[in-house]
Amino acid sequence: MEYKKLLQFPQKTGLYDPSYEKDSCGVGMVANIKGIPSRQIMEDAYLVNSRMDHRGGCGFEENTGDGAGILVALSHNFFKKISKEMGVKLPKKGSYSVGNIFLPQDEKEREFCKREIEKIVDSENQIFLGWRKVPTDSKKANVGPAAKLSQPVIEQLFIKSSDGIDQEEFERKLYLIRKQFSHQLRTNKKLTQASLLFACSLSSKIIVYKGMLTPSQLFPFFPDL
């Protein structure tokens, strides 16, 4: 069977009109009311997520979903360990951000996007720390062929706040950075895979892991979780 990349909505034809496409997410929430982080929260979130199959959709492949994700607090201990492997020293909690960014499959376009993002970080007087390719395991998650063909490259963007600003001001800077590069690059007519570029999140407080997955595929797909 031949599979084709689906990087954008199909053209309007017959009774189908892509303008009617809308997100309709099912949502589950797990938290410790005292704000105490623990692995148990993640385990409970995995259970909640795996029971949301009825809110998702599949095409002719049972293992190609229409999307699943999780928003979690940024784990300073986890990223401190990761940063050492990258050769980067992280500042104190709240003074840096990590964001999962979808990037083009094409290497030249991907590198162009990364350099442009770094320029925008610099233009907002924030400090670029580095990129980390997010580990994924499509085999363990049993991701379907159609989803794999459309899969972007997922990398994490690390940014340090400039001196003299508090966390809330840093969050506003991150919002501006994310909006600027999303708009500039996704509307760049020279990029053939501009539609693949997407910022899942960019924050000093939270991080989002998501993909064209079924709910039960999310955790196996991302070893970070």
Domain residue ranges of the chain, discontinuous segments joined by +: 68-212
pLDDT band at 55 (very low <50, low <70, confident <90, very high): low
Distance of CA 153 to the CA centre of its chain: 10
Q: What is the pLDDT of residue 11?
A: 83
pLDDT band at 3 (very low <50, low <70, confident <90, very high): low
Q: Please indicate whether residue 32 or residue 62 has the higher confidence score (pLDDT).
A: 32
Q: What is the pLDDT of residue 201?
A: 97
Q: Please indicate whether residue 59 or residue 157 has the higher confidence score (pLDDT).
A: 157
What DSSP string runs through the chain?
Answer: -------SPPPPBTTB-GGG------------TT----HHHHHHHHHHHHT-GGG--B-S-TT-BS-EEEEEE--HHHHHHHHHHHT----STTSEEEEEEEE-SSHHHHHHHHHHHHHHHHHTT-EEEEEEEPP--HHHHT--HHHHHTPPEEEEEEEEPPTT--HHHHHHHHHHHHHHHHHHHHT-TT-TTGGG-EES--BSSEEEEEES--GGGHHHH-TT-
CATH for 68-212, among 3.40.50.1820, 3.30.70.260, 3.40.50.720, 3.40.50.150? Answer: 3.30.70.260
pLDDT band at 180 (very low <50, low <70, confident <90, very high): very high
Identify the sign of the CA torsion 114, 118, 119, 121. Answer: positive
58: annotated active-site residue:
no
Give the tens place of pLDDT for each residue, 127-153.
Answer: 999 999 999 999 999 998 888 888 999
Give the tens place of pLDDT for each residue, 69-122.
Answer: 999 999 999 999 999 999 999 999 999 999 999 999 999 999 999 999 999 999
Distance of CA 7 to the CA centre of its chain: 16
Q: What is the pLDDT of residue 87?
A: 93
CA distance 133 to 119: 19
* Cβ-based neighbours of 66, under 8 Å, separated by 6 or more: 56, 57, 58, 212
Neighbours of 109 (CB within 10 A): 20
Polymer length in residues for the chain: 225
